[in-house]
Amino acid sequence: MKTEAIHHEDNPSATPPPQPGAVIRELYEEYLIPTYAPGLVLVKGSGSYVWDASGNKYLDFVAGIAVNTLGHAHPSMLKAIHEQARKIIHTSNLYHNEQQAKLARKLSMRSLGGKCFFCNSGAEANEALIKLARLWGREQEKHEIITVANSFHGRTLATLTATAQEKVHQGFAPLPEGFRYAELNNLESVRNQINAHTAAVLIEPIQGEGGINPAAEEFMRGLRSLCDEHDILFLCDEIQTGIGRTGEWFAYQYYGIKPDAISVAKGLGGGLPIGAIVTSNKLSDVLQPGSHGSTFGGNPVSCAAALAVIETVEKKKLYERAEKMGDFLITRLEKLAHKFDCIQDVRGRGLMIGIVMDRPCKDLEGILLRNGLITVATAQNVIRLLPPLTITHGEAKRALKIIDKGCKEWQQYKS
Ligand SMILES: *Cc1c(COP(=O)(O)O)cnc(C)c1O
């Protein structure tokens, strides 16, 4: 939209040429409920690059919000999806499905060693965690869940209530009961919310939407002890951090602790919709026939794609690559922070990075975009980088160059 407007102003008398993508934008205006304000019309992707309807090429450092783990059009995913689609696309969970079985084993073996439940999104995965916690605690009348400020757990009524951000709650009262809020990296604040009815604590090891805020090691270890002490479940939302993004299969693994269950989604399907929870053995049999379900959950094609993602991450050691590329990017970004006053901090781990700016930075996101780099601003003043785990050194350097140039330009706008 923006580039079109600029075009008109530059040539007030000229009739603007028809913009590729204009029809799509018009259809959006007329028929899409405007829950989003989308920018580009993206039509094609390959590796770390995407193309818009006008043929412009962009380096994609959003990757569908940490979804396209293997980048775009990865051959292993295409093959898996194609082969499974030819065999059988959907069966429902009334029947066994080979892909789901294999995927559950892989997920369990790489994380908590218990069992999996499959659904279609992150919010659904957290819903499953919430139901699991309530069912687990019901005999002791434990049902409350503690989350922390600036968390993000989804958009359904229960998960938006779990999301400790006022702006997400507004207008949706009455909210479901049983959620309490504490502060990240403040163990005392969590302790203060514990009472006889507390069933669980739910934490993102690194907050994503909240602005790339990592949980401190003492905090995570402290939480584990606190939960053990009070017989409370420790749940980790690994929806954005999972599947190798932070350098380990799951971010909790950095802390040398084991949560009782995790939720996974985003990067799991590499672009196909899928969500999951994985439990430890202690919680493997809490949910029983009839207590939860999903028609599409664990769909054979989504599971085949997820298997291809996990196998490729494993074979190519992409978690190691994420760590290495992340270290490189973070080191260089810290250098940029010395060069530009507008950069206040660089946070994150692996390929989940936040560049903290000195003011709201939606317009910087726009500048980077015009220079060919897709990023996503969050929490007002944080530019978030979530590239595919497959990025090359050259692509990382290219992104840094664009960020350098973009900051130079943005700094001048400061009033
Ligand atoms: C994206 C996200 C969710 C919600 O996932 P959806 O698939 O959009 O429902 C939940 N938790 C975290 C940490 C996320 O990043």
Ligand 1 atom at minimal distance to the Cα of residue 66: 15
Nearest CA to ligand 1 atom 11: 153
- 192: nearest Cα among 181, 184, 177: 181
pLDDT on residue 387: 98
Structure tokens at 293: 């379900």
DSSP-derived 3-state class of residue 188: helix
Give whole-number Cα distances, 192 to 15, 182, 195, 216, 235, in Å.
65, 8, 8, 19, 18
Nearest CA to ligand 1 atom 6: 122
Distance 211 CA to ligand 1 centre (A): 14
Nearest CA to ligand 1 atom 8: 122
Burial class (CB in 10 A: 0-12, 13-18, 19+), 157: middle
Ligand 1 atom at minimal distance to the Cα of residue 65: 1
Distance 150 CA to ligand 1 centre (A): 13
Distance 202 CA to ligand 1 centre (A): 13
Strand partners, 241: none
Which strand (E) or helix (H) includes residue 199? Answer: strand 198-203
Q: How many residues make up the chain in this entry?
A: 415
Dihedral (Cα; 302, 308, 309, 310), 10-degree rounding: 110
356 within 8 A of 333, measured Cβ to Cβ: no
Q: C-alpha 211: how far from its chain's center?
A: 12
For a pocket test of ligand 1, which of 153, 168, 386 has the largest count of ligand atoms closer than 8 A to its C-beta?
153
Q: How far apart are CA 113 and CA 106, in angstroms?
A: 10
Sheet holding 382-385, edge to edge: 343-349, 352-357, 382-385, 376-378
Q: How far apart are CA 375 and CA 362, in angstroms?
A: 10
pLDDT on residue 5: 45
CATH number of 22-68+317-411: 3.90.1150.10
pLDDT on residue 14: 65
Segments of the chain assigned to CATH 3.90.1150.10? 22-68+317-411
Ligand 1 atom at minimal distance to the Cα of residue 266: 7
Nearest CA to ligand 1 atom 15: 240
Distance 366 CA to ligand 1 centre (A): 24
What are the tens digits of pLDDT across the range 199-257? 999 999 999 999 999 999 999 999 999 999 999 999 999 999 999 999 999 999 999 99
Q: C-alpha 139: how far from its chain's center?
A: 34
In three state form, how does the secondary structure of 216-271 look? CHHHHHHHHHHHHHHCCEEEEECCCCCCCCCCCCCHHHHHCCCCCEEEECHHHCEC
∠410-413-415 over CA atoms, to 5°? Answer: 135
Give whole-number Cα distances, 226 to 192, 197, 250, 279, 283, in Å.
11, 15, 21, 19, 18
Segments of the chain assigned to CATH 3.40.640.10? 75-315
Q: How far apart are CA 341 and CA 364, in angstroms?
A: 14
- Residues within a 6 A CB radius of ligand 1: 121-123, 126, 152-154, 204, 208-209, 237, 239-240, 265-266
Residues classed as catalytic: 152, 237, 266
Distance 25 CA to ligand 1 centre (A): 26
pLDDT on residue 415: 55
Residue 28 CB partners (closer than 8 Å, separation 6+): 38
For a pocket test of ligand 1, which of 67, 165, 239 has the largest count of ligand atoms closer than 8 A to its C-beta?
239
Which class would CATH give 75-315? alpha beta
pLDDT on residue 3: 45
Q: C-alpha 371: how far from its chain's center?
A: 25
pLDDT on residue 20: 85
Ligand 1 atom at minimal distance to the Cα of residue 156: 9
Q: What sections of 91-216 are H helices per DSSP?
A: 98-110, 122-137, 157-162, 166-169, 187-193
Distance 393 CA to ligand 1 centre (A): 28
3-state percent helix, strand, coil for the chain, nearest multiple of 5: 45, 20, 40
* Residue labelled with tokens 């989804």: 154
For a pocket test of ligand 1, which of 129, 145, 152 has the largest count of ligand atoms closer than 8 A to its C-beta?
152
The stretches in the chain having pLDDT less than 70 are 1-14, 415
Count CB-CB contacts under 10 A for residue 4.
12
Count CB-CB contacts under 10 A for residue 43.
14
Ligand 1 atom at minimal distance to the Cα of residue 240: 15
Which strand (E) or helix (H) includes residue 68? Answer: none
Distance 216 CA to ligand 1 centre (A): 21
Instruction: For 276-341, give the DSSP string.
Output: EEEE-GGGTTSS-BTTB--SSTT-HHHHHHHHHHHHHHHHTTHHHHHHHHHHHHHHHHHHHHHH-T
